[in-house]
Structure 1
Amino acid sequence: MFGQRQTRQRRKSPTPPPMTRDEALRISQGLGLLERSQPPAPLLSETDDDADNNNEWEDIPEVPCTHEEIRPDSPGDQYAKHQRSLRHAEARARNQSKWMALEAQLTATYLHLQSFTQNWTKQNSYLTNEIKCQCPPEKFRRRCVDFVDILSHARKRRVTFCDCVPDVIRLLHLGYIAGSPHFPRTAFSIRLLQFQHHLWNHTSISISGFIDALMSFLDVQCPSRLTPQQIKGNYKKNTDAQAKDIKLRELYPDKFIGVLYDIGCHLGAHIAKRLWLQNRYQNAVKVLSEAQSALTILYGTTNPAAPGQNYSAEFFRGQWTLEREAYSSKEAILQRQKLELGRLLSLKEELDTAWTMLTEIVLDRSLPVITAEQSIVRLRTTAELQEKIEKQVARVGTANVPVDDEEEAFLKLWYSKHEVGLRFIAICEEKRPLQQSRSDGHSSNLGHKGQTNLLLAVRRHTVQLMKIVDTYRTRRAEYHAEYPHRQLPEDIEYTELLHIKADHPFWNDSLFTKIDAPWAVDPKTRLGMQQIAYADRAKEELRRLGWEARRAMRWATTTHHRNLTTLLALQSDEPDLALPIVSHQTLSHLPPQFRRSAAAVVIKNAFVKITNTQLLWHEGLLEVFSRTQSQTGDEELKRTWDSQLDHISKLHEEEFREGERLQIQNGVKFKVKFNAEVTKPKSMSIIPRS
């Protein structure tokens, strides 16, 4: 409410309690959706004389009382739920409108009291600063309010309210924020809400869980709950536990957890965020160094594609251009059509295998007779395969493609290897989220459920990949047995396939594409092309990181200068210097003499935040700034940055030397290197208290 923070989505409102059957039945009957049940008529005796003369009991048949039930999804039940949700939404809207009506006055009062009480750190900041109003005694009303603090819980404390000051504002003067805008019954201390605000920004914890833990803690701290016997018992219990803990640490020194899992994960993530720019810079330098070392070795190696010459950067870049052109040429389109033909032939082989198996089962009477369900499944499978073949024929262009047996086996082998590559890439894509969450500067957002689903998907792709690898090896062996004189692609096992990289010779398809260019067949050429790409990308990364570092430094120095200038203007006696912020609509609810101090609270908090940010960024930004390509205005930017950091260091030294909280004071002139003379405070606190 009183400062900017990260936004979070509002939690969904709790589900209202379900309506009882009797209530839903009554609403349905009132709306005319159900008929009202009539009570059974009483049974009459045949004659009154018989009833008078007969002293024995008369047997009356029991008539069950029928109550018409109502379904949970009936119109009456739905109408009742809808009306209840509308009333709940209207109540929330009314409550929200009341808070919005008080927001400006509440904010202005908060800023004024934050300055007056030094951020509620004075001894008399709580429950002592009551408002003195001029209302007559009959206008006062006393009401009990529960005050919840971080160290105590005062139940049913009587507070005096009146009509001239809203209840929320009166409680704020006492150091508490009301739980509701109208007739509050509960109030929470400022320091408790400030603590919860910082906890909420740095950890993931629910408000309800925080309140439950706080109330449990305050209940335990209540003096009335601890008798001397209980205190003695608790002390003995705690000392015994500590003694046992020391003994266990001696026996099992490596079995104790140092940092909790959740805390460790959060610490690692935030530390990685702090060093994001520096880590990116160091990674770019490392990649560039490794790429240049590999290229230096290649530049001293003879190039077989150019006799008498060594590899060069121009040769690698030229091969990269030829590779891109080759994949967009007509020859590449023809190769893709052949690959589609290999897929068509593979589907045809599957169809023939299915029909052969069906025929053998029908003709061989020694085998068990297939059932009708199995026959339907096999017919459906063959029909699906036939449909796929027809679609592939339409894509290729003709069903009567003139190919011999050798070419057909060769194309099917090519398609099998191509499918191995596709499945391998699918597994890499499934693993990518997990690998990315483990890299620097990233935190895993998969969770237990997400990791479980990811592992299941990887297992499904793994089973498919194993089958495809077996098919590829089988077709390779069959092709080698039929045509031993032909060159074969590289053989590979499934376990070996999982450990190879994208530049492994197994993925080279030059045997099938008939391309013998250096970029397709020469491993050193492909390595050089890859290292050239790494070096270019690392140089571009360093250039962009230099821009980012300078942009961050300019933003920080500009914000520092603007906040300091505004803060000094608020402390000066000239009325026109701080007029824009003092005349803000929110501060109009305060008396004129209090507006400058309230505005100074906001500006000082922003100034403290930017100085802490500069101290945090200083080491990493200067490393990137000094080791990247210089730009126009670097000297002035560096001079301004160093001047501001020196100023911040002096403020820290004065704070530690005096040993007390220092306030901004006037009267001394100094020159900060902002190309302008400003008023220097004698001392300045960078502790965010006021």
Structure 2
Amino acid sequence: MADRPRRPRNANAATPLTTRRIIRTNTRIITVSRGQPRRARNAGLRRTEQQEPAERARQASARRLGRRLGIILERTQDQYQPEQRPQDPQPLLGSFVDHESEWEDVNPIADHARHFRLQRYAAKREETARQWAALDKEVVSAYLLYQDISENWSSFEPTFSDHPSGCTCAPADISQRNVDLVDLFERLGGVLIKFCKCTPDVVRLIQQGFFACSADKPRTAFSIRLVQYHHHLWQVSAVTTSAFIKSVSAYLDSHTRKPLLNRGSKHKRRELRVPFSHCIDLYLRILTNSKKIYEDGLRLSPTEKWANKCPRCFGPIQNEVKQNPAEPDINLNMDGNYQQRHYHHASKDCPREDQYPSLFLPPSKIASDIERISATENAATGINPPCSETHKAADDTRNGTTWDRCDDNGLFASTCRHDVPLAIINVYKTGEKLYYPVSILRNFLADFPNHKVGVLYDIGCHLEAHVVKRNLLSDRVADLRFGTSVFHAYVHEWSCQVKYNPRLNDWWGLTDGEGLERFWSFMSPLVSTLRVSTRLHRLVSIQARAEYYSDQLTLSTGEWFAKKFLDCTKANQAASLVLHQLYELANPATPGSNYTNQFFEGQWLLEQNYHLHLNQNREKQRQELGKLLCLQEELDAAWQAESTTAEQGIARAAACRDIDARLRRQRTTIGPHALIDNLNRNQSELLWKAWYSKIDVRQQYLALAKEKQPLLQACCPGEQTTLGTNSNESLMRSLRKRGDLLRNSINVYNRRALDFAAACPTRHAPPTITYDELLHLQPDDAFWNDGLFTNGNEPWAIDANTQCGIRSLASFKRSQEEHRRIGWEVRRAMCWAAAQQDRLMDTLRQLCSMQVPAEGETYIPPNVEALLLHDYLSPLKTVEEKMKSAKVVIHAKLIEIWKLQIQWDEKIIDVFEQTPHQTGDDLVLQAWQQQIAAIFRAMQNGHSSGIPGDLNYSVIYPGQDQPTGDDIVPNEEDGNDNGEDEDQSNEGINIDESDSDSDEGEEEYIEAVEHVMHQTIQRIILLNLAEPTPPPDDPILT
């Protein structure tokens, strides 16, 4: 042990510069307290004395080179010398322990190496992305073609040993490679597959039903049906990739004789998470590009693309009658979420502009708004945003230092009133900035130049003030109507609610503006995984999850309409009942008459006018006076209740003197406004104290509501909270403290309100309230109205019946607006679905009617030219292959439309018939019923296959007998459908071909044919279907 070479103690020589391990990996090895590895120790023991001088010489040479290049700083005179350090004791047994390396040193060499290592990693990542992008067209076209050939890989057997399909390479250009294949039901290790030079390896594996894990010479592949199954499972449950691949591996281990081992290893099992994630990304790219083929091939306009997102909002608008031209056509909700963050240490990739998913606004579409808002900072001077300061989510005091571990700090999004996400912005190193909602509005309004748009935002009051004063959307401000979300209205001042609460103002219906809260709840399972993923993967995953969320909302349209119509009816009935009760009461403000709707409307206009022209400075001065009076009262009470020492007495006397001075100054500042409504000074000050006490009640209530937010967040089914045990207990303790503070504030307020009532019995006193009553108050309850403190003679401020009538009349109007809007949206959705089916059916008919001559060019109809000549289908060699691929895309969309219509039909017709009639309703209902009848008939006959591309002839040509011949081949499972569909009256017809030349035989033949034709035509008429033109031969059904 005495002769064992010792580790160099110089900090710069602590890790040899020329060791083989460092040169290979170019990483810095930091030894922690776990001790020196056995391999390193054994290597040191084997090092001979002859190697030590050469090693020291190489180290010295490297240090001189580093100093000459400026990588290593020159040693200073006061630097600690290694020979002066006391000798660390060596352990008698085990490894050498280096106590000084338990923390990370600043090593310029290691930093230099790390820089170039990250550079190489970024270059490798970019090269991998480039390789996959170069294969996009071939991959998408091959996937669609073989999806049709294999019936979505439901009836397909791979042939790995066969010659590659369509290969023209010489035998010398065909190679073989072992590939590990993983399927949903089996796993094969080291399967020998033939590859050629004319077909990319990724495409070759798709032909065999597998997705490659690498763009260049893949060694692992997962079956397409396994990736498809994972995609559907992930959409429903957001299962992590690690959990899914572990479960699949464990299942296959129990059904496979040989384990799947690492290449070159005899015992270590393969880790498949990373390869499988590449297949997931590949499949998402295929789905995205297939959607692009559909949109570009059918030449969808921007409005039609919006309608595909939410047909209830953006479907065809026909014969809709508004009560006021200012009524919004579409309502938008906006909000931010700062749980969907991304840690900057997880990845250093920076998505390009063209890599942003379609749902996201790329940075280029936000840049102009950032510049515009920066240039108008001076114009924003004087905007007083008390509500935005109260609202935590809109507090822009958060900046990049608050999120120092993150690069992407969250998301800002917009949904329609049906909760469908419409646009998302990735928040990069900022908080909830003004330019995010402005960018969404500007880009949205560009596609709808003639629409009126309602905007519900948690701080809609703040947003409108900036938009108007900064002149941000000057050309469309008149088309916008701002409001606040319903469940966040309680954080706004009453003067703000009077103008922006959607329950109190016209044209909002029963929209609550909380669609983003439900969307963020649905997206919450992705929070933990996406924080440590790559930035691009995070955006793509959010896009895929949001699209599934939108599809599910669209699928449940019928249930949504039925529920909303029921809620609307209940609200209408409840409001009508209250109003009829008030109509029977005498109105003290107008002696000799009862309450009427005209009176309630007039009082509401007076209340709005007062709050819109409120002198906020005077109100704040009165509230400050009430605060000082309350402080003086508390000091006086404390002075009398407790015995004090001399020091305490002096301090309290000084505090009282200070309060008296502030009170005198405050009274001087307010002047004559310190008195109100012919009240004397004592009565007025009692009123101001009650007012301030009520403000304190509201602040304590908001604090309690804010503390309860984690308990109110939506949870997964079966869960009551997203908090753990410790967090839940801590939160409950905090809630008890907040509750005690709120009870004390309520008691103080009630006492002061009663004091004012006793001192001034002729004036309406502030209403008292209990703790339980306060917790059950609605945001628009009259208790929050502070008008009685300044308007003691106005019915809207002091009369409880008037206040109740105003709220009930507003609720009645909102229910009527909702009733009318539901009628609009039902017809938009039905018209959209019917038009979509007609368009898709027409496209399929044109594809099936194309003739492909043996020689010469094929004529392509103009309506399908963009579809067949799409760039992503260009790698396909023949027109027949392009037709099959296009048929898969269109048929998949037709299957979706059929699912929607069948799901909607049960309840949407009831809502359609109970909403106000519109011009053209008969045509809409007739077209809908005809399509539903055709769908039901196809389902009953077994012709409605759910496999994309598995298109039955009778689907696109209903009512026609299926032709025979070599050009059209019926589906195997539908072999007997032809006999079931045809009329059985021709079973007794017997045509003797030997006697066909006789007159009697000709007459029987003609009668039989006429009878069959008559029955066929009669069946078509009874089904109310138009007789289509007999189709020509169809080459793509062969």
What's the TM-score, normalizing by structure 1? 0.71
Correspondences of 1:511-526 after superposition (within 5 Å): 512-513=789-790, 515-526=792-803
Counterpart of 1:471?
748
Distance 1:319 1:454 in 2: 43
The question of 1:448 aligning with 2:723 is answered: yes
Per the TM alignment, residue 416 of structure 1 is displaced from its structure 2 partner at its CA by 1.5
Counterpart of 1:85?
118
The question of 1:192 aligning with 2:226 is answered: yes
Counterpart of 1:556?
833
Correspondences of 1:31-430 after superposition (within 5 Å): 31-32=66-67, 33=72, 71-125=104-158, 127=160, 130-132=163-165, 133-223=167-257, 275-328=559-612, 337-349=621-633, 360-362=644-646, 389=662, 393=666, 396-397=669-670, 404-405=681-682, 407-425=684-702, 427-428=704-705
Per the TM alignment, residue 475 of structure 1 is displaced from its structure 2 partner at its CA by 4.5
Worse overlay, 139-148 or 411-420:
411-420
Distance 1:177 1:340 in 2: 70
Counterpart of 2:873?
587
Q: Report the secondary structure of 1:121's partner residue.
A: coil
Per the TM alignment, residue 93 of structure 1 is displaced from its structure 2 partner at its CA by 0.9
Worse overlay, 673-682 or 457-466:
673-682
**Residue 900 of structure 2, aligned match among 603, 606, 613:** 613
Cα distance per residue 1:19-40 (max 9 Å; x no partner): 31389x9999864325799999
Query: For structure 2, which runs of at least 5 residues remain unmatched after alignment?
Result: 1-24, 32-39, 41-58, 84-97, 260-521, 526-544, 852-858, 962-1019
Distance 1:488 1:111 in 2: 75
Opposite residue 322 of structure 1, the aligned amino acid is L
Counterpart of 2:993?
none
Worse overlay, 385-394 or 651-660:
385-394
Distance 1:417 1:172 in 2: 70
Cα distance per residue 1:419-448 (max 9 Å; x no partner): 22443355456657866849xx99999843
Opposite residue 869 of structure 2, the aligned amino acid is S
Distance 1:526 1:154 in 2: 75
- Does the 8 Å contact 1:568/1:679 carry over to 2? no
Cα distance per residue 1:614-669 (max 9 Å; x no partner): 11122232222211112232222212111111111111011079999773368838
Q: Report the secondary structure of 1:529's partner residue.
A: helix
Counterpart of 2:447?
none
- Does the 8 Å contact 2:710/2:723 carry over to 1? no
| Closer/same/farther in 2, CA of residues 605 and 31 from structure 1, 3 Å limit | farther
Opposite residue 255 of structure 2, the aligned amino acid is Q
Distance 2:742 2:794 in 1: 30
Counterpart of 2:336?
none
- Does the 8 Å contact 1:28/1:77 carry over to 2? no
| Closer/same/farther in 2, CA of residues 480 and 590 from structure 1, 3 Å limit | closer
Q: Report the secondary structure of 1:311's partner residue.
A: coil
What's the TM-score, normalizing by structure 2? 0.49
Per the TM alignment, residue 161 of structure 1 is displaced from its structure 2 partner at its CA by 1.9
Opposite residue 20 of structure 1, the aligned amino acid is I
The question of 1:597 aligning with 2:884 is answered: yes
Worse overlay, 521-530 or 476-485:
476-485
| Closer/same/farther in 2, CA of residues 617 and 35 from structure 1, 3 Å limit | same
Distance 2:762 2:1030 in 1: 92
**Residue 952 of structure 2, aligned match among 640, 645, 663:** 663
Per the TM alignment, residue 576 of structure 1 is displaced from its structure 2 partner at its CA by 2.6
| Closer/same/farther in 2, CA of residues 202 and 168 from structure 1, 3 Å limit | same
Counterpart of 1:9?
none
| Closer/same/farther in 2, CA of residues 521 and 404 from structure 1, 3 Å limit | closer
Worse overlay, 574-583 or 493-502:
493-502
Counterpart of 1:528?
805
Distance 2:101 2:74 in 1: 9
Q: Report the secondary structure of 1:158's partner residue.
A: strand
- Does the 8 Å contact 1:640/1:674 carry over to 2? no
Distance 1:512 1:284 in 2: 35
Opposite residue 603 of structure 1, the aligned amino acid is I
Q: Report the secondary structure of 1:415's partner residue.
A: helix
- Does the 8 Å contact 1:549/1:625 carry over to 2? yes
Opposite residue 112 of structure 1, the aligned amino acid is L
Opposite residue 663 of structure 1, the aligned amino acid is N
- Does the 8 Å contact 2:621/2:666 carry over to 1? no
- Does the 8 Å contact 2:571/2:815 carry over to 1? yes
- Does the 8 Å contact 2:182/2:221 carry over to 1? yes
Q: Report the secondary structure of 1:589's partner residue.
A: coil
**Residue 28 of structure 2, aligned match among 9, 15, 19:** 19
- Does the 8 Å contact 1:508/1:521 carry over to 2? no
- Does the 8 Å contact 2:785/2:797 carry over to 1? yes
Query: For structure 1, which runs of at least 5 residues remain unmatched after alignment?
Result: 1-15, 41-64, 226-261, 684-688
Q: Could you say which structure has the greater relative contact order, defined with CA pairs below 8 angstroms and 6 or more residues apart? A: 1
Opposite residue 157 of structure 2, the aligned amino acid is N
Cα distance per residue 1:165-190 (max 9 Å; x no partner): 22112212211111101010001111
Identity of aligned residues (%): 30
Worse overlay, 444-453 or 72-81:
444-453
Worse overlay, 397-406 or 272-281:
397-406
Counterpart of 2:910?
623
Distance 1:108 1:465 in 2: 65
Cα distance per residue 1:274-299 (max 9 Å; x no partner): 52232112111111122122222332
- Does the 8 Å contact 2:625/2:663 carry over to 1? no
